[in-house]
């Protein structure tokens, strides 16, 4: 057994996305203690940078020391008490995971179901809340990574608030890629991941909790079922002031997140959102010129996660293997009920750049042609270039 | 706000310990996908390396994607069902945390209490199990990081098994530092951390589950309360064969753990244990020559975590601050009921070397002398050197 040297890849799947060298270098700086005064000062900066990314002034904003699934769990175990009725909007894999979380917290999920590949329908949420006036929480996914559908956070939060419900929003794939205004939209609890549009390494989950959510957490009648994720304890360490040991923070991962967020701030959130939009338009033009069709209707489509139908007769796994072998290019397979039916092409963070759009189109064209698809050489690239030149 | 460049430190606290450059370099290798065939092959190696470190052939051996506290929680949420009676041995902070975990899983903890700074008393465990024949699990800490006490795993496991109980063992600070034989001792479930004697960065928790534990997990009557830590799901990804997505693995952290475990295997477990023992003897001789006394009786003492009483009249925080400022040396404060009363000096993994022993003694001597302690210059160093030369 020898040291592991990963192959060189271009990551255009559903995440992780390509991590910039600056972030990898920050990751490898010498480890120091989790109560070191210099480290603690860095934590304060990290919190401010996360507040910027989330567009919030919530003091309870920090990275959970584990991946996005744990960030999701952090929101549910802290906000749901046994017996609570929680409306969960399900339009893909991650809404389904939310439902699992509610059940495992002893809550009662009420589902608002929409077809995979569509946004959450606000009218259905409204109707469900009318039918369940005792519901206290509404949970939904902003950017469904399994399908590429984008739901309207502001509208859904407004409906939830009118029915006196708190909101839990999954922003794993949206943070840094499309507009997300936690304060302006009144989101009560939100979680994200580092390995998508922030282009940091995977393993952390930024979260933020508003005033009403914090009040609910502080006034629970049952202890939070997870000791590790209990915000009443975690905030003794992340809350500022005298830092009480809770668990050993993932020091180096936090260096990396600090650097990734600095890069985002240097570019500016609005510029990052515009870049994702513009390059998505180019990729879309190319994919469509190749005859590929999107799963999600245009108005509900995420720029950073492009789910396209696999052409009939084409072998899903063979195409992805060949992209990896010949072009070192990773694109994502379908997930859940979309397995074998779609590819998910990510344009996230650092990986969302002109080179990658052009590489992906050329590689796909070549590999699909070799798989027997009737694709005219060069059309996809020309279509993408046309968008880039007018952009 | 600028990139964060950590100060240079020597980490001789209770962890994290100094991370070797090889591990930091591995950490910074380019991120690839969690389902990439090359990554999946690395996971198989990582599992084999962890099996070596734990001295087990358990197939269910892997790193939990979060710190040691989550590894603890992983053991409890998977093995404890509501209503289960669990005997928890408490002789420091981490036994107390185990009790919290049992309660939050809906179990009933029965405590075996020993004074902080002492090992768990096997006779008390025996008596408790006789009084509670319906107990099904026994949990205890191998190496209590809060006090430096080492408990006798083999004896405690034997007692538990005679009373038909499964065992959960906290090996956070023991793995790689002192003998731990998961299979030979019949440990049913064990968790550890990466930032102690493995000298990897913090953020992962290696765990291993034996056959009887796996059977209990597979035959639960309630779902595991944590979706993120549910081993029935996690093993779909880590179990080998076709890898099913569960959560996005912390790719780079796993590169680092692979490298840290390679280093351990290169040295050999027995050699690593002997190194910790030998350098502890040198440090001990020096500390005692300086007039400092150990909290834990010699026969129950961990070599890798040296808790010594703070001399009367000496300002705890001032000494630690000066060590940090003048020598860039971090030692640990007391925790829980030992706060302000002891220092915890770690000799863990890569940080357990001759240079650090000598540096620590010289630095402490200087700082304590400046704090007014009557310490004869050079005695500590001479005592340590005498041990090192005969060792």
Name the burial class of residue B374, with classes exposed (0-12), middle (13-18) and buried (19+) by CB atoms within 10 angstroms of its CB. exposed
> With contacts defined as CB-CB under 8 Å, which chain A residues touch B245?
335
Closest listed residue to residue A368, CA positions, set A327, A305, A323, A308: A323
Please report the DSSP string for A150-180 in residue order: E--HHHHHHHHHHTT-EEEEE-TTTTTTS--
CA distance B258 to chain A (A): 8
* ipTM for this model: 0.98
Chain B nearest C-alpha distance from A12 (Å): 10
Give the minimum alpha-carbon distance from A297 to chain B in angstroms, rounded to a whole number. Answer: 26
- Is B269-390 in CATH node 3.90.1310.10? no
**At a CB cut-off of 8 Å and minimum separation 6, what does A95 contact?**
A88, A89, A139, A140, A141, A144
User: Does B228 sit within 8 Å of A7, measured CB to CB?
Assistant: no
Report d(CA B260, CA A234) in Å as an integer.
28
Chain A nearest CA to B147, separation (Å): 15
Phi, psi (degrees; rounded to nearest 5) at A239: -75, -10
A-contacting residues of B 71-110, CB under 8 Å?
Answer: 72-73, 97, 100-101, 103-105
Contact A6 B255 (CB under 8 A): yes
Q: Do B203 and A253 touch (CB under 8 A)?
A: yes
Chain B, window 172-211: residues with a beta carbon less than 8 angstroms from a chain A beta carbon: 193, 195, 201-203
**How confident is the prediction for chain B on average, in pLDDT?**
97
CA distance A276 to A3: 36
pLDDT tens-digit readout, B125-152: 999 999 999 999 999 999 999 999 999 9
The residue of chain A with its CA nearest to that of B10 is A32
Looking at beta carbons, which residues of chain B come within 8 Å of A333? Answer: 35
**Beta-carbon count within 10 A of B40 CB:** 16
Assess B261–A contact: CB distance below 8 Å, yes or no: no
Tens-place pLDDT, residues B68-119: 999 999 999 999 999 999 999 999 999 999 999 999 999 999 999 999 999 9
Report the residue from B8, B35, B251 with minimal CB separation from A202.
B251
Which of A165, A153, A73 minimizes the C-alpha distance to A110?
A165
pTM of the model: 0.98
DSSP secondary structure string for all residues of B356-391 = HHHHHHHHHHHHHHHTT----TTHHHHHHHHHHHH-
Which of A202, A249, A263 to substitute to test the interface with B, most B CBs within 10 Å? A202
Rounded Cα distance between B148 and B303, Å, is 8
CA pair distance B54, B61, nearest whole angstrom: 9
Please name the helix (run of DSSP H) or strand (run of DSSP E) that holds residue B170, with its range, or none. Answer: strand B166-170
pLDDT of residue B144: 97
What pLDDT is recorded for position B214? 97
What residues of chain A score a pLDDT lower than 50? none
**What is the per-residue pLDDT across B225-253, written as a single tens digit (0 to 9) for each?**
999 999 999 999 999 788 899 999 999 99
Task: Tell me how close the Cα of B139 comes to any Cα of chain A, in angstroms.
Answer: 16
The angle at the Cα of B36, spanning B231 to A374, to the nearest 5 degrees, equals 130
Whole-number Å distance between alpha carbons of B335 and B360:
21
Residue B391 pLDDT > 70: no
Q: Which of A110, A101, A276, A122 is nearest to A189 (CA)?
A: A101
The residues, any chain, with a CB within 8 Å of residue A241's CB and separated by 6 or more, are none
Task: Measure the CA–CA gap between A391 and B252, rounded to whole angstroms.
Answer: 36
CB contact under 8 A, B262 and A223: no
**Which phi and psi angles does A157 have, rounded to 5°?**
-65, -40
Q: What is the pLDDT of residue B242?
A: 84
Alpha carbon distance B391, B383 (integer Å): 12
**Which of A279, A3, A307, A276 minimizes the C-alpha distance to A144?**
A307
User: Which residues in chain B have their CB less than 8 angstroms from residue A16's CB?
Assistant: 31-34, 248, 251
Q: Is A13 on the interface with B (CB under 8 A)?
A: yes
DSSP secondary structure code for residue B244 in this structure: P
CATH code of the domain occupying B20-266: 3.40.640.10
Q: How far is A179 from chain B (nearest CA, A)?
A: 23
User: Does pLDDT of B24 surpass 70?
Assistant: yes
| A226 neighbourhood in chain B, CB within 8 Å | 73, 104, 225-226
Give the mutation candidate from A100, A107, A227 for the B interface (greatest B CB count, under 10 A). Answer: A227
Interface test with A, best of B50, B71, B202 (most A CBs within 10 A): B202
Chain-centroid distance, C-alpha A375:
33
First-to-last alpha carbon distance for chain B, in angstroms, is 50
Residue in A closest to B204 by C-alpha = A250
CB-based contact, B170 to chain A, within 8 Å: no
Q: Which residue has the tokens 């990314």?
A: A53
Sequence spans of domains, chain B: 20-266, 269-390
Top residue of A5, A6, A37 to mutate, by most chain B CBs within 10 Å, is A6
- Chain centroid to CA B151: how far? 13
């Amino acid at each position: 057994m020898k040291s592991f040297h990963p192959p060189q890849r271009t990551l255009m799947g559903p995440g992780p996305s390509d991590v910039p060298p600056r972030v990898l270098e920050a990751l490898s700086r010498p480890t120091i203690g989790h109560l070191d005064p210099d480290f603690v000062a860095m934590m304060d900066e990290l919190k401010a940078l996360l507040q910027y990314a989330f567009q919030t002034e919530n003091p309870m904003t920090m990275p959970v020391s584990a991946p996005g699934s744990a960030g999701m769990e952090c929101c549910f175990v802290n906000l749901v008490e046994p017996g609570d009725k929680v409306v969960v909007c399900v339009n893909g894999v991650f809404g389904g995971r939310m439902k699992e979380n509610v059940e495992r917290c002893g809550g009662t999920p009420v589902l608002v179901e929409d077809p995979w590949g569509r946004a959450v329908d606000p009218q259905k949420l409204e109707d469900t809340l009318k039918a369940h006036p005792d519901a206290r929480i509404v949970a939904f996914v902003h950017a469904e990574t399994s399908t590429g559908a984008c739901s309207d956070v502001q509208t859904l939060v407004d409906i939830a608030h009118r029915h006196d419900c708190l909101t839990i929003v999954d922003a794993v794939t949206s943070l840094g890629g499309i507009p997300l205004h936690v304060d302006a939209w009144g989101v009560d609890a939100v979680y994200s991941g580092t390995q998508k549009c922030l282009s940091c390494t995977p393993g952390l989950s930024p979260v933020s909790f508003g005033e009403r959510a914090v009040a609910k957490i502080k006034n629970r009648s049952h202890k939070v079922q997870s000791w590790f994720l209990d915000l009443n304890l975690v905030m003794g360490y992340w809350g500022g002031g005298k830092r009480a040991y809770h668990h050993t923070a993932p020091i180096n991962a936090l260096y990396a997140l600090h650097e990734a967020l600095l890069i985002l701030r240097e570019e500016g959130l609005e510029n990052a959102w515009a870049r994702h939009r513009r390059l998505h338009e180019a990729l879309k033009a190319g994919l469509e010129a190749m005859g590929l069709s999107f799963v999600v209707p245009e108005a509900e489509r995420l720029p950073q996660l492009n789910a396209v139908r696999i052409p009939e007769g084409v072998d899903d796994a063979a195409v992805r293997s060949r992209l990896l072998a010949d072009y070192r290019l990773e694109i994502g397979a379908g997930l859940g009920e979309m397995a074998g039916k779609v590819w998910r092409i990510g344009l996230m963070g650092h990986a969302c750049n002109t080179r990658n759009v052009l590489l992906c189109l050329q590689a796909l064209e070549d590999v699909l042609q070799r798989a027997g698809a009737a694709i005219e050489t060069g059309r996809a690239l020309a279509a993408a270039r046309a968008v880039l030149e007018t952009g």
